[in-house]
């Protein structure tokens, strides 16, 4: 009798990991699934695109300038005859690289400050005041000012590409960690009082190990959600800065820069603004949908309903 | 409540001072010299005098304190003088722009109306669109209206304003020719046709910002309504036999508005920031455009004052949001 129920139980409940549950919930959200698919597609296109579409984005073919869509140039060419598709792929590389690294930087800073503020009591006050202070800064004007002031120095020190890339990533990362820090701090504060942390403390686990083994895995879900929002924010900020003419130089395309350059040709070739704009918008849209789905999937109260 | 307001206001002062210090240090420590652009034919000793006249010779602390005095004492006194006619300011030094050598605050006041018109109007329009959409989509959750509403707000939230703006220009100015693509700030409204023109040129920049704001606020409104619709007091209200419109529009809406009102207040300064981009797209010569040109010209007093004014706006509206929350929701008052 007991054997039968035992085997029945085993049949019914195959071992399921938490992440399988999360995936199940995630895949019920159609928008999130589509968003993740599109984001993956953009990522792959940007990484492997140059091998498939092998035209050099810097190659100037002045006789083929301002062309519309054709078989040789599926998305047309710009005023110097450079292939728009190739430039879009190259621009995507920069935009995605800036987005991902800036997001990582802001996550690391945000998580570090959040965990420290939540776990170490005497650091809580000062760190949260710092966070409030950063939230009160006028970010876009400040970004513009920082970039304007330090652009030339970094460019001459590290070269035009690496210098501006580092500046962008640093500036975006350092101004977008506050939300993550606040959420992580709140979660850490409540986790700290839970029994399993108490148990770990009582057997003499050092603080560093408690944070790494017991607290960080449990705050992973809000971190993941803010990671997706961070990518969206970083991509938008980078293209906004490039759009204002304060981002990457023109021979080093990003999506925002391509859009900015296309505006001068709005009368002649209105279609040209469409492609980089669509690339930015669709990527951000897909990332936001992904974030929505992740938030639902990682919330155990919603999961399984 | 009064205590709470006073305490919050006093806390805002050190924040503002600290922000001003950060801004000052940032601009001061940065490489770049305002006299670097001057012609090389100017002899070095004259150049040194120019530097001194710009106030660059003194130590950092003195310059910071002087700037604070100029910004917080001299400028208000000057305006009191203008309004009342009493001579309060004397010959106190005002904050001068390095570009035009005229007082920074005067230039900012010249540009303010354009920004306020476009930004303020777009925020009002955005809120007016967002509230009904949020209410209806929450009340009819998962209906087609809700599906479309959330999809559109997701789009409005994701598509950057510089793309929607350019897209509108392509469609309505280049292709259809309905609206002008450049905002004419010299335009004077004195009769019906010039008023129509003003409306026409305001439609596109206003709609771009309104869509963006409406997207964010309607998401909040929907979430907040959904939180309240399942509460016990709603069931009680229904079981008392109240009309459905009373239940939704009085019992639920009033409670749902609490967080939304604070979000609306918090959003005002970010709209000023976002307007920088929209102003650039439609060539509105407001505050954002002033900031960009000042940055490009290395006009440090102007950049400093403008960024600091943005900071004051943020701190002030944070304060307003906090106090409003206390007024609307007695549970969170700290007294």
The residue range of the domain holding B216 is: 104-328
For residue A305, what pLDDT is reported? 47
Contact B315 A259 (CB under 8 A): no
Contact B296 A139 (CB under 8 A): no
**B131-140, B299-308, B326-335 — most confident range:** B131-140
Contacts of A163 in chain B (CB under 8 A): none
Are the beta carbons of A259 and A273 closer than 8 angstroms? Answer: yes
Encode pLDDT of A46-79 as tens digits.
Answer: 888 778 777 777 767 666 666 666 666 666 677 6
What is the arithmetic mean of pLDDT over A249-258?
79
Which of A193-202, A208-217, A232-241, A290-299 has the lowest average pLDDT?
A290-299
pLDDT at A148 over 50: yes
Q: Nearest Cβ partner of B18 from A133, A140, A246?
A: A133
- DSSP string of A69-124, one letter each residue: S-SSSTT-B-TT--BHHHHHHHHHHHHHHHHHHHHHHHHHHHHHHHHHHHHSHHHH
Give residues 131 to 190 of B whose Cβ lies within 8 Å of A: 154-155, 157-160, 162-163, 166-167, 169-170, 174-175, 181
Residue B246 belongs to some domain of the structure: yes
3-state secondary structure string across chain A:
CHHHHHHHHHHHCCCCCHHHHHHHHHHHCHHHHHHHHHHHHHHHHHHHHHHHCCCCCCCCCHHHCCCCCCCCCCCCECCCCCEHHHHHHHHHHHHHHHHHHHHHHHHHHHHHHHHHHHHCHHHHHHHHHHHHHHHCCCHHHHHHHHHHHHHHHHHHHHCHHHHHHHHHHHHHHHCCCHHHHHHHHHHHHHHHCCHHHHHHHHCCCCHHHHHHHHHHHHHHHHHHHHHHHHHHHHHHHHHHHHHCCCCCCCCCCCHHHHHHHHHCCCCCCHHHHHHHHHHHHHHHHHHHHHHHHHHHHHCCCCCCC
Q: Which two tokens stand for residue B46?
A: 């004259």
For residue A124, what pLDDT is reported? 85
Shared-domain flag, residues B70 and B153:
no
For residue A252, give every residue at least 6 positions away whose Cβ sits within 8 Å of its Cβ, in sequence order, or none. Answer: A94, A160, A161, A164
Residue B51 belongs to some domain of the structure: yes
- Determine contact: A243 vs chain B, CB below 8 A: yes
Shared-domain flag, residues B77 and B122:
no
CATH number at residue B208: 1.10.3720.10
Contact B274 A263 (CB under 8 A): no
Q: Is B313 or A84 the better-scoring residue by pLDDT?
A: B313
For residue A203, what pLDDT is reported? 92
* pTM of structure: 0.82
Average pLDDT, chain A: 80
Residue A33 belongs to some domain of the structure: yes
Which of A146-155, A265-274, B84-93, B136-145 has the lowest average pLDDT?
B84-93
Shared-domain flag, residues B89 and B108:
no
Contacts of A279 in chain B (CB under 8 A): none
- Determine contact: A140 vs chain B, CB below 8 A: yes
For residue A304, give every residue at least 6 positions away whose Cβ sits within 8 Å of its Cβ, in sequence order, or none. Answer: A21, A25
Q: How far, in Å, CA of A3 to CA of B81, rounded?
A: 95
Residue A77: what are its φ and ψ, rounded to 5°?
-130, 165
**A254-258, A264-268, B328-332 — most confident range:** A254-258
In chain B, what percentage of residues exceed pLDDT 70? 92
For residue A101, what pLDDT is reported? 92
Give residues 266 to 285 of B whose Cβ lies within 8 Å of A: 269, 273-274, 276-277, 280
pLDDT at A172 over 70: yes
Shared-domain flag, residues B89 and B157:
no
Are the beta carbons of B278 and B73 closer than 8 angstroms? Answer: no
In chain A, what percentage of residues exceed pLDDT 70? 84
Q: Determine which of B19, B142, B160, B318 to mutate to test the interface with A (most A C-beta atoms within 10 Å).
A: B160
Tell me the Ramachandran region of residue A73: left when phi exceeds 0, alpha when psi lies from -120 to 50, beta otherwise.
beta
The residue range of the domain holding A122 is: 21-52+77-298
Encode pLDDT of B292-303 as tens digits.
Answer: 888 877 777 888
User: Count of CB contacts below 8 A, A vs B?
Assistant: 116
For residue B49, what pLDDT is reported? 77
Shared-domain flag, residues B87 and B108:
no
Average pLDDT, chain B: 80
- What's the structural domain count of chain B? 2
Shared-domain flag, residues B61 and B141:
no
Q: How far, in Å, CA of B161 to CA of B146, rounded?
A: 24
Residue B22 belongs to some domain of the structure: no
What is the arithmetic mean of pLDDT over B187-196?
76
Shared-domain flag, residues B79 and B202:
no
Q: Is B44 or A35 the better-scoring residue by pLDDT?
A: A35
Shared-domain flag, residues B305 and B211:
yes
ipTM surpassing 0.85? no
For residue A69, what pLDDT is reported? 67
3-state secondary structure of B159: coil
What is the arithmetic mean of pLDDT over A228-252?
83
Shared-domain flag, residues B178 and B282:
yes
Residue A63 belongs to some domain of the structure: no
**Angle at alpha carbon of residue A76, lines to A71 and A77, rounded to 5°:** 125
- Determine contact: A39 vs chain B, CB below 8 A: no
- DSSP string of B63-112, one letter each residue: HHHHHHHIIIIIHHHHHHHHHH----STTPPPPB-TTTSSBHHHHHHHHH
- Determine contact: B32 vs chain A, CB below 8 A: yes
Shared-domain flag, residues B90 and B235:
no
Q: Is B38 or A121 the better-scoring residue by pLDDT?
A: A121
B88 pLDDT band, cuts 50/70/90, is: low
CB-neighbour burial class of residue B186 (10 A; exposed 0-12, middle 13-18, buried 19+)? exposed
Shared-domain flag, residues B176 and B299:
yes
Contact A288 B154 (CB under 8 A): yes
For residue B36, what pLDDT is reported? 64
B199-212 burial code (b ≥16 CB/10 A, e <16): eebbbbbbbbbbbb
Domain final residue, candidates B48, B66, B97: B97
Residue A266 belongs to some domain of the structure: yes
Q: In terms of DSSP H, where are the helices of B116-143? A: 121-139
Distance from A44 to chain B by nearest Cα, in Å?
21
Whats the size of chain B, residue-wise? Answer: 335
pLDDT at A267 over 80: no
Domain final residue, candidates B43, B69, B97: B97
Contacts of B154 in chain A (CB under 8 A): 31, 285, 288-289, 292
Q: Determine which of A29, A30, A126, A145 to mutate to test the interface with B (most B C-beta atoms within 10 Å).
A: A145
Contacts of B174 in chain A (CB under 8 A): 266-267, 270
- Determine contact: A145 vs chain B, CB below 8 A: yes
DSSP category for residue B284: -
Please state, in angstroms and as integers, the Cα–Cα distance from residue A107 to each residue in A114, A116, A125, A299, following that order: 10, 14, 21, 20
Residue A12 belongs to some domain of the structure: no
Please state, in angstroms and as integers, the Cα–Cα distance from residue B235 to each residue in A22, B65, B230, B240, B245, following that order: 33, 60, 8, 9, 14
Encode pLDDT of B245-290 as tens digits.
Answer: 888 888 888 888 888 888 888 888 877 777 788 888 888 888 888 8
- DSSP string of B212-245, one letter each residue: HHHHHHHHHHHHHHHHHHTSHHHHHHHHTT--HH
A108 pLDDT band, cuts 50/70/90, is: very high
- What's the structural domain count of chain A? 1
Q: Is B103 or B252 the better-scoring residue by pLDDT?
A: B252
pLDDT at B54 over 70: no
Residue A303 belongs to some domain of the structure: no
Contact B158 A153 (CB under 8 A): no
- Per the DSSP assignment, residues forming a β-bridge with B96 are B103
Q: Which two tokens stand for residue A207?
A: 């603080």
Contact B311 A277 (CB under 8 A): no
Enumerate helices (H) and strands (E) in chain B, giving the number of each: 14, 0
A5 pLDDT band, cuts 50/70/90, is: low
Domain final residue, candidates B70, B97, B124: B97
Shared-domain flag, residues B126 and B182:
yes
- Determine contact: A284 vs chain B, CB below 8 A: yes
Contacts of A141 in chain B (CB under 8 A): 273, 276, 291, 306-307, 310
Contact B22 A281 (CB under 8 A): no
3-state secondary structure of A263: helix
**Angle at alpha carbon of residue B85, lines to B81 and B87, rounded to 5°:** 55
**Which helix H or strand E contains A150, and what residues bound it?**
helix A139-158
Residue A118 belongs to some domain of the structure: yes
CATH number at residue A265: 1.10.3720.10
Contact B162 A259 (CB under 8 A): yes
Q: Is B272 or A193 the better-scoring residue by pLDDT?
A: A193
- Determine contact: A190 vs chain B, CB below 8 A: no
Contacts of B19 in chain A (CB under 8 A): 133, 136-137
Encode pLDDT of B198-226 as tens digits.
Answer: 777 788 888 888 888 888 888 888 888 88
Residue A72 belongs to some domain of the structure: no
In chain A, what percentage of residues exceed pLDDT 90? 5
Q: Determine which of A136, A267, A288 to mutate to test the interface with B (most B C-beta atoms within 10 Å).
A: A136
């Amino acid at each position: 009798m007991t054997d039968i129920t035992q085997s029945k139980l085993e049949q019914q409940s195959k071992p399921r990991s938490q992440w399988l549950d999360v995936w199940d919930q995630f895949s019920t959200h159609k928008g999130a699934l589509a968003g993740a698919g599109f984001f993956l597609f953009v990522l792959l296109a940007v990484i492997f695109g140059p091998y498939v579409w092998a035209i050099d984005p810097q190659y100037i073919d002045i006789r083929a300038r301002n062309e519309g869509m054709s078989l040789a140039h599926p998305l047309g060419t710009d005023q110097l005859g450079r292939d728009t598709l190739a430039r879009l792929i190259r621009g995507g590389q920069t935009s995605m690289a800036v987005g991902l690294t800036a997001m990582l930087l802001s996550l690391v800073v945000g998580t570090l400050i959040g965990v420290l503020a939540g776990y170490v009591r005497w650091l809580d006050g000062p760190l949260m005041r710092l966070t409030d202070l950063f939230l009160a800064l006028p970010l876009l004007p400040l970004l513009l000012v920082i970039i304007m002031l330090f652009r030339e120095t970094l460019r001459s020190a590290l070269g035009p590409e690496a210098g501006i890339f580092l500046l962008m990533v640093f500036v975006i990362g350092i101004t977008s960690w506050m939300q993550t820090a606040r959420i992580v701090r709140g979660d850490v504060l409540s986790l700290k009082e839970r029994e399993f942390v108490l148990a770990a403390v009582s057997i003499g686990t050092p603080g560093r190990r408690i944070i790494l083994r017991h607290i960080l895995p449990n705050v992973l879900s809000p971190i993941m959600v803010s990671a997706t929002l961070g990518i969206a924010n970083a991509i938008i900020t980078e293209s906004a800065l490039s759009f204002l003419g304060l981002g990457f130089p023109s021979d080093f395309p990003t999506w925002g820069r391509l859009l900015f350059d296309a505006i001068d040709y709005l009368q002649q070739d209105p279609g040209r603004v469409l492609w980089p704009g669509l690339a930015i918008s669709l990527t951000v849209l897909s990332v936001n949908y992904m974030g929505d789905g992740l938030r639902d999937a990682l919330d155990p109260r919603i999961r399984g309903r | 409540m009064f205590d709470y307001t006073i305490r919050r206001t006093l806390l805002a002062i050190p924040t503002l001072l600290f922000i001003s210090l950060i801004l000052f240090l940032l601009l001061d420590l940065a490489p770049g010299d305002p006299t670097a652009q001057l012609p090389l034919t100017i002899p070095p000793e004259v150049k040194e005098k120019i530097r001194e006249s710009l106030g660059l010779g003194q130590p950092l602390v003195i310059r910071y304190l002087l700037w604070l005095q100029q910004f917080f004492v001299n400028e208000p006194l000057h305006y009191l003088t203008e309004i009342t006619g009493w001579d309060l300011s004397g010959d106190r030094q005002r904050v001068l722009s390095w570009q035009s050598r005229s007082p920074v605050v005067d230039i900012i006041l010249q540009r303010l109306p354009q920004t306020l018109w476009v930004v303020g109007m777009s925020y009002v329009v955005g809120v007016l669109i967002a509230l009904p959409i949020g209410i209806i989509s929450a009340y009819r959750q998962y209906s087609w209206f809700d599906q479309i509403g959330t999809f559109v707000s997701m789009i409005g939230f994701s598509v950057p304003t510089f793309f929607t703006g350019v897209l509108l220009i392509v469609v309505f100015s280049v292709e259809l020719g309905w609206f002008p693509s450049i905002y004419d700030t010299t335009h004077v409204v004195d009769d019906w046709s010039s008023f129509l023109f003003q409306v026409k040129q305001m439609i596109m920049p206003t709609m771009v910002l309104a869509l963006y704001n409406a997207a964010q606020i309607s998401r909040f409104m929907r979430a907040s309504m959904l939180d309240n619709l399942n509460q016990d007091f709603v069931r009680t209200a229904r079981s008392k036999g109240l009309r459905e419109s009373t239940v939704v529009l009085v019992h639920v809406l009033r409670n749902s508005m609490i967080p939304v009102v604070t979000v609306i207040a918090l959003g005002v300064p970010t709209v000023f920031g976002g307007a920088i981009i929209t102003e650039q797209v439609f060539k509105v010569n407001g505050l954002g455009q002033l900031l960009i040109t000042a940055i490009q010209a290395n006009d440090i007093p102007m950049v400093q004052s403008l960024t600091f004014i943005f900071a004051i706006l943020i701190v002030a509206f944070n304060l307003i949001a906090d106090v409003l929350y206390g007024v609307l929701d007695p549970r969170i008052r700290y007294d």
